[in-house]
Amino acid sequence: MQEQAVDTLTTAAAESTRVAATEHGGNMFAELLEHVRDSHEVDTPFGHLELPHFHPVEILGISFDLSPTKHVLFLWLAAIVLFVVVRLAARTNIRNSVPKGIGNLVEVFVLFVRDEIVVPNMGPDGFKYMPYVLTTFFFILFMNLFGILPYGATATGNVSVTGGLAIIAFIMIQAAAIRKQGVKRYLMHLTGGVHWTLWPIMVPLEILGNFTKAFALCMRLFANMTGGHIVIVSILGLIFLFGSIWIAPVPALFVVGINMLELFVAFLQAYVFTMLTVVFMGLGMQTEHAHVE
């Protein structure tokens, strides 16, 4: 009987320890997920900083909460840093006949976007859209890089942010097509060049295709920037899942490697979003259509 009592106590203690470890691991896992989720507070070396709250604004019976969130804060920080960096680069290049320093670094990206993205897909007509294309590339790049910094957040990991970028891209794609073709040829383009009897089928498909392009831009950027952080959180969660400190070095090494990969992904996703936007703009600017009698 005494041995049975000891076994019962041992089993109860082990179960209690397991439950406590699970709860502790779950809490730590939730804290790690805070790096991915949007919130009304930001992490600092001195603790959590609460962001200001504003009263909701009602427009046409719809309530809008304009209180800044963590992703909004880092979106604005990316915009401010981008403005400062570009201004410094411009002043440096004006003072020096040969670009150097930050001016040379920015010029490398500008020439790459112009020669490898805009000109091959849009031709000489693409030069007038360079300000928009460059702003899109650098803005997304800076938002992506902020997510790698300690206590930072990836604004492009918020579908609202990528959705806003996609809406602007959609407007620019349609505006470029209308500006190049004219309204009449643009509307004829929606028919796909097929016989008029097929227009009731073709026109809705073409319109849906235009919205699908923007939706793909939105979801691709959102998924890729969120996926890397989820992988990092999942790998760190293995430490709490196994409940042993001896396994910590292996996930830590993997996390360091994935962080290096995240740096590459930050540049890659800015390039991919910009490239696809320019490709869609270039396709819309084509004036060749098949005419059916």
- Which pLDDT tens digit goes with each residue over 74-96? 999 999 999 999 999 999 888 88
Nearest Cα neighbor of 222 from 267, 280, 180, 163 is 163
**Are the beta carbons of 205 and 190 closer than 8 angstroms?**
no
Contact criterion met (CB below 8 Å) for 193 and 290: yes
Mean pLDDT of 11-33: 46
DSSP string over 273-289: HHHHHHHHHHHHH----
Backbone torsions φ then ψ of 247, nearest 5 degrees: -90, -10
Q: Decide: residue 58, CB within 10 A, 0-12 exposed, 13-18 middle, 19+ buried.
A: exposed
pLDDT for the residue 78: 95
Query: Is the pLDDT reported for residue 29 higher than 60?
Result: no
Q: Mean pLDDT for the chain? A: 81
| Span 256-290, pLDDT tens digits | 888 888 889 899 999 999 999 999 999 888 755 44
pTM of the model: 0.82
Q: Which amino acid is at 286?
A: Q
β-strand partners of 63: 58
Residue 174: strand, helix, or coil: helix
